[in-house]
Amino acid sequence: MAMERTYLMVKPDGVQRGLCGEILSRFEKKGLKIVAAKFMVIPKAVAESHYGEHKGKKFYDSLISYISSGPVLALVLEGDGAVAVCRGMMGKTNPQESAPGTIRGDYGMVTGMNLIHGSDSPESAAREISIFFKPEELVEYARSSDSWIYE
């Protein structure tokens, strides 16, 4: 089975509300493996690179300001179908449209403060991981619990 990696970020509102542990715990309990983690304040240039596809949109400047306004928890998680699994667990971008049981459905109220970012495809995951992590920061290791998660 081919393992997939994805990029996740607990955004400044999630950090400020003390939800990093709760959010990360959900992914670990699901069976995803932590490959890298970094607590950081995103420099403006990095934020602009990360959200480059939104440049020119009316919300771009406020998005850059928000994402660089305080610390975030940047993560790389690994698992079978990690991108889709994580996106499902996060819920819709608008928390008011997110199902109960999802991160945004349980903890979010508005789109502008929706707690978490996750890659939307394996290709964007690779791009985003390379923005926030050097290759040597990604840790390869065997997890004994994998035999109880995967067939």
User: For this structure, is 117 an active site residue?
Assistant: yes
The 10s digit of each residue's pLDDT in 64-83 is 999 999 999 999 999 999 99
Choosing from 74, 117, 125, 129, which is the catalytic residue? 117
Could you tell me which residues are beta bridge partners of residue 113?
Answer: 110
Give the other-Cβ count within 10 Å of 81's Cβ. Answer: 16
Q: How many CA atoms lie within 13 A of 98 on its CB side?
A: 24
Q: Which amino acid is located at 123 in the chain? A: E
Map out the domains of the chain with their CATH numbers. Answer: 4-148 (3.30.70.141)
Series of mean pLDDT values for 10-residue runs along the chain (151 residues): 90 98 98 98 96 92 96 98 98 97 98 96 97 97 94 90
Q: How many angstroms separate the CA atoms of 69 and 42, rounded?
A: 8
Q: Report the pLDDT value the prediction gives residue 1, as an integer from 0 to 100.
A: 55
